[in-house]
Amino acid sequence: QYSKAANNSKELEDCEQANKLGAVNSTLSNQSKEAFIDWARYDDSQDHFCELDDERSPDAQYVDLLLNPERYTGYKGPSAWRVWNSIYEENCFKPRSVYRPLNPLAPSRGGDDGESFYTWLEGLCLEKRVFYKLISGLHASINLHLCANYLLEETWGKPRWGPNVKEFTRRFDPAETKGEGPRRLKNLYFLYLIELRALSKVAPYFERAVVDLYTGNGHEDAESKALLLDIFRDTKSFHMHFDEKSMFAGDKKGAKSLKEEFRLHFKNISRIMDCVGCDKCRLWGKLQTQGLGTALKILFSEKEIQSLPENSPSKGFQLTRQEIVALVNAFGRLSTSIKELQNFKVLLQQTR
């Protein structure tokens, strides 16, 4: 405690701020607590054919997302980098000898501008290239949320939140990122198209009368389902730019093996997210990872969705309450990212 490092007031202030901003607001009304018990009882009575890792864990808890908006928390530096580094290194089918551009945890490569990484990436099969782009797009989306909802000022206990153009430039400007920023944003749009495609594909599952978004309030349930079906109708009106049929289209044995690899990688990414030292960052990171995993599950289950019976449950395809919440909220986050990106374009034009 008497060391120079321990008495660095700036580091202590940053740490205290990160702990404060990153804390999860776990406030729940008595009405909500009673509803969760009712929901669990209803869900237990249903036939489920996929089990999520931590859904029934004693450590799991319900959180009101409206009380915990995704924004800057002060969680940054080596700790945050190690989490993302583990996600890329362990799950993107990448050998250790190939270094990602601008990775501060990788050994120094002198004049390497990162092009060797993309040369390696182009040599992969379509499915593995897609996987990397999805993770990169997710990373870009989360960074955009933090830049767009940044703590600009904190005076007399009244924080002022808003877009931080300087932080956005540091993370995405071509000059600041050696040309890497635009690639990240391109992957963000690619991820958006993937999840948009999944929403359009899952519509038949929800259009069936047997599917009920149960909360115990029949009127609100019907209204919620009607709103969800409106979203699906909007997605169908959009000209899709991605066709998942080109994925896993090889021999059946190889395709099945690769699809299983995808599934295991997403489970591993969710476990890595458990290592995030900021509660709020972990909450939104896991939710968006699970949302993407659910989107891929939908895209790879098209035949099962099309053959679902109208008036009875099916063992062929099922979505849990947790997956539905993750899918809709993850797409909401991506939509917000696209909107905030347009806002930053305007702000950058005004500052020039």
Query: Is 177 annotated for ligand binding?
Result: no
Query: Is 336 annotated for ligand binding?
Result: no
Q: C-alpha 195: how far from its chain's center?
A: 11
Residue type (1 letter), 87: I
Token code pair at residue 225: 């389902």
Query: Is 73 annotated for ligand binding?
Result: yes
Q: C-alpha 41: how far from its chain's center?
A: 28
| 278 carries an active-site annotation | yes
Question: How far apart (Å, rounded) are the C-alpha atoms in residues 188 and 134?
Answer: 8
Query: Is 320 annotated for ligand binding?
Result: no
- 134-154 per-residue burial string, b: 16 or more CB within 10 A, e: under 16: bbbbbbbbbbbbbbbbbbeee
Catalytic residue among 50, 125, 147, 281: 281
DSSP state at residue 158: E
Question: How far apart (Å, rounded) are the C-alpha atoms in residues 56 and 164?
Answer: 39
Angle, to 10 degrees, between the axis of helix 165-172 and the axis of helix 321-351? 100
Query: Is 263 annotated for ligand binding?
Result: no
Query: Is 239 annotated for ligand binding?
Result: no
User: What is the number of other CB atoms lying within 10 angstroms of the CB of residue 304?
Assistant: 15
3-state secondary structure of 113: coil
Phi, psi dihedrals of residue 158, rounded to the nearest 5°: -115, 90
| 15 carries an active-site annotation | no
Asked if 296 and 260 count as a contact pair (C-beta separation under 8 A), the reply is: no
Catalytic residue among 92, 147, 275, 278: 278
- Annotated binding site, which residues? 71, 73, 84, 136, 139, 171
- Annotated binding site for FAD, which residues? 71, 73, 84, 136, 139, 171
Q: Catalytic site residues?
A: 278, 281
